[in-house]
Amino acid sequence: MPYLWTHMMLEAIDLEQTYWSAGAPLTVLKHINLAIEPQAFVAIVGPSGSGKTTLLGLLAGLDAPTKGIVRLDGQNLADLSENARASVRATKVGFVFQTFQLIPTLTALENVLVPLELRGARTSASTPRARHWLDRVGLADRAHHYPAQLSGGEQQRVGLARAFAGEPKVLLADEPTGSLDAETGMRVIDLLIEINRDVRTTLVLVTHDPTLAARAQRVVRLAGGSIVADGPPDLG
């Protein structure tokens, strides 16, 4: 049990999540125990409805768990208010979404600026950093384009720039290639893994795609709300 004495970036202890739907409880996750080391690259896989998204959300502090503990960088998210969790997300968590989720009324550059500005940073101070990240994803020349003027692959690259611009400790990606064709998706993933290696972020990725999962260091398989397998990709 190496994580007993190693500092863990993400920890879930006896995690359980229950929703009330039409007056009846619906347990989406139960008995989840998981520890993720700093700089690890973990893929969460499983069929639809197995609880992947909920687990990702709880690890990011998007909700308080019904039962159990979630620690992000040593901080128990269950103890925090929603606003305090929001500030944890703003400083320590980056997101990459399946449908990119760029703000349509903002340019590429402004979209990358959002996480920096939400922290209260001044626009003038943050702009060089946002430009740097756009350059890093190869879109320096598209800074002033609106999302609608970008292709799907380009939009997701802006999404990557936004996720990394905040220099998060944890990067959570939800089916990042789900809306892209195989080739574009592969290029985005290459970029993601490459940047992740450079900046040493902890990367947790939810996916259906076995080839994508195979590139992770570790695969956690969910079924019916419980972890059914947890190990290197070849075992997954």
Binding site for other proteins (CB under 8 A): 19, 53-54, 57-58, 60, 62-64, 82-83, 86-91, 93, 95, 97-98, 101, 103-106, 110, 113-115, 117-119, 123-124, 148, 152, 174, 179
Smallest distance, Å, CB 62 to other proteins? 4
Nearer to other proteins, 26 or 214 (CB): 26
Query: Looking at beta carbons only, is 58 or 227 nearer to other proteins?
Result: 58
Pairing type for strands 170-174 and 93-96 reads parallel
For CA atoms 118, 75, 195, 41, give the dihedral sign: negative
The minimum distance between CB 212 and other proteins, in angstroms, equals: 18
| 82 vs 194 by CB, closer to other proteins | 82
| Residue 161 near residue 112, CB atoms below 8 Å | yes
Task: Tell me the closest approach of the beta carbon of residue 57 to other proteins, in angstroms.
Answer: 4
Structural tokens at position 166: 């905040």
- Taking the least distance from each CB to other proteins, the nearer of 60 and 218 is 60
How far apart are CB 95 and other proteins at their closest, in Å?
A: 6
Q: How far is CA 119 from CA 59, 86, 130, 157, in A?
A: 21, 10, 14, 22
| Nearest C-alpha neighbor of 219 from the set 202, 203, 211, 231 | 231
Enumerate the β-bridge partners of residue 41: 203
Cβ at position 63, least distance to other proteins in Å: 3
| Rounded least distance, CB 50 to other proteins, Å | 13
- Using the minimum distance from each CB to other proteins, give the nearer residue, 17 or 196: 17
Q: Which of 64, 186 has the CB closer to other proteins?
A: 64
In the numeric block, which tokens belong to residue 179? 């809306």
